[in-house]
C-alpha cells in the first residue's frame, strides 16, 4: 500500500513537471510571435515620427531655397507615398513578403529624398545656421537612428521566431497546434546598416 502511494505520488509529480514544461514550450512560440509584433510596432512608431517631422523641415528649407522646387517636391511626394503605404498596410503584412517589400520600397524612397534635401541644405549657409533647421535636423537624425535600431530589433525578432518554426520543439507545436503560423517577413537591408544604426546626415558644422 505504501509503495503504491509512493508510485502514484511520483507519477503525479512527473505529470505536473511535464505539464509545466509542456505549457512553457508551447507558449515559447507564442511569446516569440508577440515579440515580433512588438518590434514591428516600434518600427511603425519611428517611421511615423519621421513623417511628422518632414512638413516643417520642408517649409524651413523652402523659406531659404524656394528655387529648389524639384527637391522639395520629391520629398513631399515621397512622404505622401510612404504615408499612404503605411496607412494601407494589409493585416497580413508581417507574413506577406510582397507587401513588406512594397512598404520598404516606399520608405527607402523617402529616405533617399530626405538625404537629397539635406545635400541641398548644405549649400545654403542661412539654412544650416538657422535655429529652427538645426532643431529639426537634430530631431530627424535622432529619429533616423531610432528607425535603424527598431528595424534591426525587428529583424532579429523575426529571425528568432522563424527559427523556432522550423526547429524542435517549435516545429512540432506548429504542426500540432499552430498550423496557421507562417514565417514572418523581414526587411532586406545591408548587414552593415543593421550593425551600425547610427545615422548622420553630415550637415552639422
Task: Provide, rounded to the nearest whole percent, the portion of the chain with pLDDT above 90.
Answer: 56
In a domain, 33, yes or no: no
CATH, residue 76: 1.20.1440.20
In a domain, 144, yes or no: yes
For residue 126, tell me if it sits in a domain.
Answer: yes
Residue 28: the pLDDT is 83
Query: How many Cβ atoms from other residues are within 10 Å of residue 39's Cβ?
Result: 21
In a domain, 47, yes or no: yes
In terms of Cα–Cα distance, which of 166, 172, 156 is closest to 43? 156
Helix-helix angle 2-64:69-87, to 10 degrees: 160
pLDDT in tens, 82-121: 999 999 999 999 999 999 999 999 999 999 999 999 998 9
Provide the phi-psi class of 146: left if phi over 0, else alpha when psi is between -120 and 50, else beta: alpha
In a domain, 86, yes or no: yes
Residue 101, in any domain of the structure: yes
Q: What is the pLDDT of residues 133-181, one digit of tens each?
A: 999 999 999 999 999 999 999 999 999 999 999 988 888 878 887 778 8
Domain membership of residue 99 as a residue range = 41-151
- Provide the number of structural domains found in the chain: 1
Q: Look at residue 17 and tell me if it is in a domain.
A: no
Is residue 16, in this structure, part of any structural domain at all?
Answer: no
| C-alpha span between 197 and 158 (Å, rounded) | 18
Amino acid at each position: 500500500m505504501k509503495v503504491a502511494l509512493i508510485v502514484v505520488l511520483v507519477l503525479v509529480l512527473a505529470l505536473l513537471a511535464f505539464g509545466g514544461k509542456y505549457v512553457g514550450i508551447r507558449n515559447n512560440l507564442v511569446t516569440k510571435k508577440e515579440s515580433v509584433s512588438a518590434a514591428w510596432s516600434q518600427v511603425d512608431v519611428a517611421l511615423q515620427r519621421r513623417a511628422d517631422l518632414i512638413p516643417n523641415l520642408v517649409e524651413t528649407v523652402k523659406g531659404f531655397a524656394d528655387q529648389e522646387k524639384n527637391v522639395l517636391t520629391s520629398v513631399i511626394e515621397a512622404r505622401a507615398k510612404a504615408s499612404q503605404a503605411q496607412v494601407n498596410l494589409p493585416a497580413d503584412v508581417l507574413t506577406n513578403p510582397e507587401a513588406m517589400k512594397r512598404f520598404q520600397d516606399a520608405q527607402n524612397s523617402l529616405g533617399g529624398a530626405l538625404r537629397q534635401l539635406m545635400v541641398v541644405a548644405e549649400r545654403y549657409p542661412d539654412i544650416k545656421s538657422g535655429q529652427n533647421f538645426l532643431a529639426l535636423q537634430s530631431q530627424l537624425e535622432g529619429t533616423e537612428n531610432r528607425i535603424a535600431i527598431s528595424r534591426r530589433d525587428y529583424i532579429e525578432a523575426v529571425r528568432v521566431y522563424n527559427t523556432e518554426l522550423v526547429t524542435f520543439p517549435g516545429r512540432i507545436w506548429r504542426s500540432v497546434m499552430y498550423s496557421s503560423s507562417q514565417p514572418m517577413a523581414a526587411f532586406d537591408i545591408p548587414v552593415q546598416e543593421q550593425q551600425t544604426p547610427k545615422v548622420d546626415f553630415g550637415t552639422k558644422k
